[in-house]
């Protein structure tokens, strides 16, 4: 499908399906409860230029961090927890891991502070919550969940999001709590125009009831300025979930994911063109985006998982009720022991 046809398809999707911007949106006609108790989970820890000569101990640390998060989510899904609860739980854990650009370990802005974004979406009725440019909230994904559950809104930003955090009594930290030596070093390199970090963390899940959910959290782009907000808290760009199609979480060059509405477009191709998750994700990542722009993870209503990227690597993992439990960084996906 060429780009013009892709744009027409996305336009029709918006007209036909609506945006479903929050609680009270029409419920998706999701699948019936699965008597086989099937579940599926995919996670990511960012995509981009990941050097293949990454020190072995560093690569092992990333794989261990991914495996811990994957095990947490897999165990919860196997117990029958909802996909919404699980993706929040998994992303909270990744936010606490200083290896990843979300929560502790978030990248530095141009002025040497941290501004964090997050979003969560429930595929059952398209309910969603998001926050952007928060500075003192320990778990941005937790605050995003509260936006969904406790307000009529979808996205709160900056001082307004911080004021909402005050009302909710969520855990707060000094902005410097998010610092790590590695991120400071990356910031210094970025200021010298040697490169940028754009990593993100995310999780998508199908629970045993057949429902889908997605959650994504990030510190954004190293050395970002002027209150820049990327794709993560923009529904349909970096985060999307609909029981009728798929749950999706993106990572990479946020501006490109916003311009092309990547996660919403994948869902649209599935809904209107009848494409499967793998084919739809491949079309967006490899035919619409430019090489190196990033990647996306997804899971559909049947528990099929897609892990698609056009960058040098993507920290990622996948698990399901059939026994799959794998993580990868570059081209490989390999089974690993559960922590």
Does pLDDT of 6 surpass 50? yes
- The average pLDDT across 15-33 equals 47
Q: What is the structure's pLDDT at 48?
A: 87
Query: Range with the lowest mean pLDDT among 102-116, 120-134, 181-195, 302-316?
Result: 181-195
Query: What is the pLDDT of the chain when averaged over all its residues?
Result: 90
pLDDT digits (tens, 9 = 90+) for 217-266: 999 998 999 899 999 999 999 999 999 999 999 999 999 999 999 999 99
pLDDT digits (tens, 9 = 90+) for 268-304: 999 999 999 999 999 999 999 999 999 999 999 999 9
* Active-site residue (options: 19, 113, 200, 216): 200
Q: What is the structure's pLDDT at 10?
A: 53
Q: How many CB atoms are located within 10 Å of the residue 215 CB?
A: 34
Q: What is the structure's pLDDT at 293?
A: 96
Does pLDDT of 25 surpass 70? no
- The average pLDDT across 146-158 equals 98
Confidence band for 3, pLDDT divided at 50, 70 and 90: low
Q: What is the structure's pLDDT at 182?
A: 87
- The average pLDDT across 179-189 equals 86
Confidence band for 98, pLDDT divided at 50, 70 and 90: very high
Q: What is the structure's pLDDT at 2?
A: 54
Does pLDDT of 127 surpass 60? yes
What residues contact 266, with CB distance under 8 A and at least 6 apart?
240, 245, 246, 248, 277, 280, 281, 283, 284, 296, 298
More confident residue, 49 or 61: 61
Domain 39-328 bears CATH identifier 3.60.20.30: yes
pLDDT digits (tens, 9 = 90+) for 246-258: 999 999 999 999 9
Q: Label residue 53 exposed, middle or buried (CB < 10 Å: 0-12, 13-18, 19+).
A: exposed
Annotated domain spans of the chain = 39-328
Alpha helix locations (H) across the chain? Answer: 3-17, 56-78, 83-96, 140-150, 158-168, 181-191, 254-260, 262-273, 277-282
In degrees, to the nearest 5, what angle opens at C-alpha 85 toward C-alphas 82 and 86? 85
Does pLDDT of 308 surpass 60? yes
Q: What is the structure's pLDDT at 188?
A: 83
Confidence band for 31, pLDDT divided at 50, 70 and 90: low
User: Percent of the chain scored above 70 by pLDDT?
Assistant: 88
The answer to whether residue 200 is catalytic is yes
Q: What is the structure's pLDDT at 290?
A: 97
- The average pLDDT across 115-131 equals 98
Does pLDDT of 21 surpass 90? no
Under a CB-based contact definition with an 8 Å cutoff, are residues 129 and 108 in contact?
Answer: no
Under a CB-based contact definition with an 8 Å cutoff, are residues 77 and 69 in contact?
Answer: no
């Amino acid at each position: 499908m060429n780009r013009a046809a892709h744009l027409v398809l996305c336009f029709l999707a918006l007209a036909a399906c609506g945006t479903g911007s929050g609680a009270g949106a029409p419920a998706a006609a999701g699948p019936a409860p699965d008597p086989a108790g099937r579940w599926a989970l995919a996670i990511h820890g960012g995509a981009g230029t990941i050097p293949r000569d990454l020190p072995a101990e560093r690569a092992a640390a990333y794989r261990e961090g991914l495996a811990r998060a994957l095990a947490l989510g897999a165990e919860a899904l196997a117990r029958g927890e909802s996909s919404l609860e699980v993706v929040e739980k998994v992303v909270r854990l990744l936010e606490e891991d200083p290896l990843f650009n979300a929560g502790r370990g978030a990248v530095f802005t141009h002025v040497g502070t941290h501004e964090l974004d997050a979003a969560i979406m429930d595929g059952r009725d398209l309910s969603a919550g998001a926050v952007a440019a928060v500075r003192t909230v320990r778990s941005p994904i937790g605050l995003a969940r509260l936006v969904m559950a406790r307000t009529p809104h979808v996205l709160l930003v900056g001082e307004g999001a911080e004021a909402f955090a005050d009302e909710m009594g969520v855990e707060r930290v000094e902005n410097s709590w998010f610092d790590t030596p590695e991120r400071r070093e990356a910031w210094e390199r970025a200021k010298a125009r040697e490169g940028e970090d754009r990593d993100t963390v995310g999780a998508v899940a199908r629970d045993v009831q057949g429902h889908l959910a997605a959650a994504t959290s990030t510190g954004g782009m190293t050395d970002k300025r002027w209150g820049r907000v990327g794709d993560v808290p923009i529904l349909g760009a970096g985060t999307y979930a609909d029981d009728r199609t798929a749950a999706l979480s993106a990572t990479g060059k946020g501006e490109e994911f916003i311009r092309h509405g990547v996660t919403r477009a994948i869902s649209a191709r599935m809904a209107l063109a009848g494409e499967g998750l793998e084919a739809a994700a491949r079309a967006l990542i490899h035919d619409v985006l430019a090489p190196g722009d990033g990647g996306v993870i997804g899971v559909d209503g049947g528990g099929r998982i897609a892990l698609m990227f056009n960058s040098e690597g993507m920290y990622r993992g996948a698990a399901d009720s059939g026994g799959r439990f794998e993580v990868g960084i570059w081209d490989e996906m390999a089974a690993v022991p559960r922590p």
